[in-house]
Structure formats: C-alpha cells, structure tokens
Amino acid sequence: MREGASDVQGQIARLMIYPVKSCAGVAVSEAVLLETGLQWDRHWMVVDAEGLFVSQRECARMALIRPQIEADALLLQAPGMPELRVPLQASGPALRVQVWDDVVDALDMGPEAAQWLQAFLGAPAQRLLRFDPAARRACSTKWTDGVPASTQFSDGYPVLVTTDSAMDELNTRLAAMGHPAVGMDRFRPNVVLSGLLPHDEDHLGPLEVWDSGAAVAGLQLVKPCARCPIPNIDPATAESHPGVGDALQAYRQDARVSGAITFGMNAIVTHGAGAVLRVGQAVQADYTFG
C-alpha cells in the first residue's frame, strides 16, 4: 500500500495512556507500541478484598488519582495525599486477580501502596497490582476473526481509537441540549485521530500508521466500544451527571453490540510492535461497510 492511496487519510492528534486502570490518563507525545497496547497503559490495577478489579463504576474518586511515569517509578498523586512512588519494575507476591471474565497473574505492590489507596478511596480499594510481565492475557477472538491478540488490564483489547471530530459532534449536541462541553478524557482513548469524519473509525479496515514515508505499524479495528456510565463522570471533580449519556443515547446505539451505546473502536496490533507512535504521524485506511 502506498501512502495516501486509501479512502481515508488523517493524523494522530493525541496519544493517551492510563497507567492505573480507571485512574486519570496521561497525555504523551510519543509511546512505544507493544503487542499489548501502548507501553505502561493499564499496567497497574486496583483490586478489592476478593481480587476483583475496582473502577470508577464503583468508586468515582479514582478519577482524581493522577499517575505519572517517571524514569524508574510510577508516581501517584491525589488531593490531600502525599505522593506515592512505586518502582516500575517492582516485584511482589504473585496473586490471581479478576478483570471482567478473565483471571490473570499479577504482582502485589505492597502494604504502603495498599494503605495509600485505602486512605484515599476507602473500603473498595484493597491492593495495587502490577501486571505480571511473564503472564499473557488473551483477547477474545470472537471479534478478531480468530486473529490472536493479547492485552494487560484493559477492558478487553489493547488499543482504543477514536476521532476528535466525534468529540466535536457530541459537544455540538450537548450545547443544543443546554449542557456544557466535555473533554475527550471522559472516553479514555489511547489514539485520537484528526482529519476524519465523526466516528469514521466505526467503518474502517486495517489502520496503517506512517512515519517518514514508511508504514511503521498497523491496527485492526475490531469491536465497537460499548459505554458504561463512566463518561458521565467529570474527571476534574469525580461528580456524575447523566447529560453525556443522554446525548449519546439519541444517536450512538450500535446494532453490532445489541444496541449498546458506543464511542470509539477497540483495536488489536497487527504489526509494528516495538515501533514508536508519535503525535502528528499520518494514518490511513479504507472503508469497510457490511
């Protein structure tokens, strides 16, 4: 495939990682693309006393925890709390924990991290876990046409892709309903594309990423991202209001996922693991309807 010889051309407008599942995201100018997604994305997770993952669905205050990746540590900050640093390569007791229907191997980050989480979040949060680097969590092949893929603590697939024009469309509808504009951070994507029509990602085939005239990576958009109430939560305050969900209900029901409200597409990495994705790189794909 030649650069520019596709139905759709655009650019990477924004890259985001979410080091701790369901905590605040980090905007980055570049990120290493791994088979499991962007490096450090959903690499840590909070679990309850039974080892089940905790998210903003149960504990909206998670939105107020702001992670950063330092040279050798995960830094966590939250209002009224001292900073917490956890070594990036920390090891600890191995635990079996549950994320949705999957039970996976993880490493306990210790009592200091546990006490920090409990002090800020309360009872739901018991431990901070790191994905065991020796483990593999397979994605469901139901949506990948049998192509094997893996992820860490994401909901199910390595990368979430959407478009800035989709956000503009939603904010136009929110304004018409008398609601204030909201930010893309409510939808927690990894890759935000510009130069595309709203929700073009819903109907695209393989997405190629180009750099300096060469194709460097490929993503296959495999499953619409069905939305729970988290987009109703204001990341700045952790307060919830149904306006976003109400607006989406009017135009974003997707028959492919039994009429669920969707925003963005889950993707798997088809080639280019180890490549560096950068804001500004060109992307292209062909439409696939059917």
What domains lie within the chain, and their CATH numbers? 8-285 (2.40.33.20)
Query: Could you identify the residue written with the tokens 């605040």?
Result: 24
Please give the Cα distance from 262 to 177 (Å, whole number).
20
* Coil/strand/helix, residue 147: coil
Q: What is the pLDDT of residue 1?
A: 60
**What is the chain's alpha carbon radius of gyration, rounded to the nearest angstrom?**
19
Contact 209, 215 (CB under 8 A): yes
Instruction: Let me know: does 12 contact 267? Beta carbons within 8 Å.
Output: no
Structure tokens at 13: 């407008």
The pLDDT, as a whole number, for residue 124 is 82
Q: What DSSP string runs through 30-95?
A: EEEEETTEETTTT-EEEE-TTSBB--TTT-GGGGG-EEEE-SSEEEEE-TTS--EEEETT----EE
87 CB-near residues (< 8 Å, 6+ apart): 72, 73, 74
First to last CA, the chain: 22
Pairing status of strand 159-163 against strand 191-194: parallel
Query: How long a stretch of residues is the chain?
Result: 290
pLDDT of residue 5: 78
pTM, 2 dp: 0.96
Q: How far apart are CA 219 and CA 289, in angstroms?
A: 17
pLDDT tens for the chain, residues 1 to 290: 677 679 999 999 999 999 999 999 999 999 999 999 999 999 999 999 999 999 999 999 999 999 999 999 999 999 999 999 999 999 999 999 999 999 999 999 999 999 999 999 998 889 999 999 999 999 999 999 999 999 999 999 999 999 999 999 999 999 999 999 999 999 999 999 999 999 999 999 999 999 999 999 999 999 999 998 999 999 999 999 999 999 999 999 999 999 999 999 999 999 999 999 999 999 999 999 75
Which residues in 232-243 are b (16+ Cβ under 10 Å) and which e?
bbbbeebebeeb
